[in-house]
Amino acid sequence: GSRFQVVEQGPPIEVFQKNKLFLEDTFQNKVNLTVGAYRDENGKPWVLPVVRKVEKQIAADDTLLHEYLPVLGMEQFSAASVSMLLGEDSPVIASGRAFGVQTLSGTGGLRVGAEFLNRHLKYNTFYYSQPTWENHHLVFVRSGFPNAREYRYWDAKTRAIDFDGLIEDLRSAPADSVVLLHACAHNPTGIDPTHDQWEKIADVMEERKLFPFFDSAYQGFASGDLDKDAWAVRYFIKRGFELVCAQSYAKNFGLYNERVGNLTVVTSDAALVPALKSQLTWVVRSIYSNPPAHGARVVATVLSDKALFDQWREHIKTMSSRVIQMREALRAELIKLGTPGSWEHIVKQIGLFSFTGLTARQVAHLIQEYHIYLLNSGRINICGLNPGNVQYVARAIHDAVTK
Ligand code: PLP
């Protein structure tokens, strides 16, 4: 017999499983609203033109080598990432209290940050929003956090944020709990706290001595404006919080499979930075030793060249406006059909996703009868919609809701 016999089949990852079912479906008008990736108005993946341009330059550059990067990654890349997140003129950059570590996309930043907080600050409890990105729980638990707790976030009845629930849950959190916060474009709900609400969240976190871990997977992609999408992180820093933030370039650069990310660390004491970096070095060393170079080269090149940077900013506007247009189109179609219920939340939510409020039964109906693939939670990737299929999707939703 095999020694591997003890291994049982694990459960599938819903989002990838649904994506596979979509790919295998032979129905002509099938629609994919599962994976959080951008699609253009023809339903096709989009390589940003500025990325193609820089990749061609890189390919033509015979001086570039495939030597190992340092364990903490490419200095120019992480510095540019910190500056994009905090703003170039951030006082914490000027005073040497912020630094970055290149990571394997957003997930890698979460993993390295969580292990570091658990191992070196001895933090054991983390709080995540209910609901949240489906991988948060697993990443933190596998990074060593024994206690996973939820804070309320989504009110299914009002299809809005359950702000009282959120505050109540944070108020009862033990000191030194890590609170995972979505910097913008909350996944899966698409609902962010208002500025007023962020201020109250900061009040409670300060009072209860909670540690903010921001997850910034959509900077620039959400509103089209890098500064606006970084408001919450910058506000917490202004309030004097120490924090970490995992950044991803998967969505805003369309570099999904290149695994380009950064972990920004902000401390109140610049003298601690060498020790923090040295311990982060050992965390990374034990997991993957050092990061890949290609995607970081692309991003660093774009972020540090004015003309390329401007071109990229146009791209994120293109992507975010298309998402906003499709939200409006879907709502308009549902209103036209007289679909029961309010569909305002579709245009109020921001980012890639809409938390539609469709039930598991309605989701099953959409998949079985219409070949429209979405998650059981009712989350849809708005980019899966385009002028060619939005009417079809709206009619299908209408049918599912009125059945
Ligand atoms: N965090 C959130 C909220 C996300 O939605 C995602 C991707 O969907 C990630 C992190 C991490 O993505 P990646 O590891 O591809 O950067």
The answer to whether the CB of 82 falls within 8 A of the CB of 99 is yes
Specify the DSSP element, H or E, that contains 147.
Answer: strand 147-152
Nearest CA to ligand 1 atom 1: 217
Instruction: Give the integer Cα–Cα distance in Å for 136 and 90.
Output: 28
The answer to whether the CB of 345 falls within 8 A of the CB of 1 is no
For residue 300, what pLDDT is reported? Answer: 98
pLDDT tens digits for range 127-154: 999 999 999 999 999 999 999 999 999 9
Instruction: Give the integer Cα–Cα distance in Å for 119 and 127.
Output: 17
Among candidates 9, 2, 53, 77, which has minimal Cα distance to 297? 77
How many Å lie between the centroid of ligand 1 and the Cα of residue 339? 32
**What is the Cα Rg of the chain in Å?**
22
Instruction: Give the integer Cα–Cα distance in Å for 240 and 44.
Output: 43
How many Å lie between the centroid of ligand 1 and the Cα of residue 134? 10
The answer to whether the CB of 37 falls within 8 A of the CB of 383 is yes
Instruction: Give the integer Cα–Cα distance in Å for 301 and 297.
Output: 6
Q: Which residues contact 54 (CB under 8 A, 6 or more apart)?
A: 297, 298, 301, 302, 308
How high is the ipTM of this complex? Answer: 0.99
Q: Which of 104, 111, 133, 153 for a ligand 1 pocket mutation test, highest count of atoms within 8 Å of Cβ?
A: 133
pLDDT tens digits for range 255-283: 999 999 999 999 999 999 999 999 999 99
**Residue 282 known to be catalytic:** no
How many angstroms separate the Cα of 342 from the Cα of each of 158, 337, 339?
A: 10, 12, 8
Nearest CA to ligand 1 atom 12: 106
Write the Ramachandran bin of 63: left for phi over 0, alpha for psi from -120 to 50, otherwise beta. alpha
For residue 14, what pLDDT is reported? Answer: 94
Q: Which residues contact 83 (CB under 8 A, 6 or more apart)?
A: 90, 93, 303
Q: Tell me the three state secondary structure of residue 56.
A: helix
For residue 320, what pLDDT is reported? Answer: 95
Closest ligand 1 atom to residue 107 Cα is: 14
Nearest CA to ligand 1 atom 4: 217
Which listed residue (46, 133, 154, 312) is catalytic? Answer: 133
For residue 192, what pLDDT is reported? Answer: 97
pLDDT tens digits for range 338-384: 999 999 999 999 999 999 999 999 999 999 999 999 999 999 999 99
List the end-to-end C-alpha distance of the chain, in Å, as a whole number: 52
For residue 358, what pLDDT is reported? Answer: 95
Residues lining ligand 1, Cβ inside 6 A:
36, 105-107, 133, 182, 187, 215, 217, 248, 250, 261
Rounded to an integer, what is the distance from CA 116 to the centroid of its chain? 20
**Residue 215 known to be catalytic:** yes
Q: How many CB atoms lie within 10 A of CB 401?
A: 18
Which listed residue (162, 169, 192, 215) is catalytic? Answer: 215
**Residue 251 known to be catalytic:** yes
Closest ligand 1 atom to residue 186 Cα is: 3
Which residues of the chain have a pLDDT value below 50? none
Q: How many CB atoms lie within 10 A of CB 232?
A: 23
Q: How many CB atoms lie within 10 A of CB 216?
A: 29
Structure tokens at 165: 């629930």
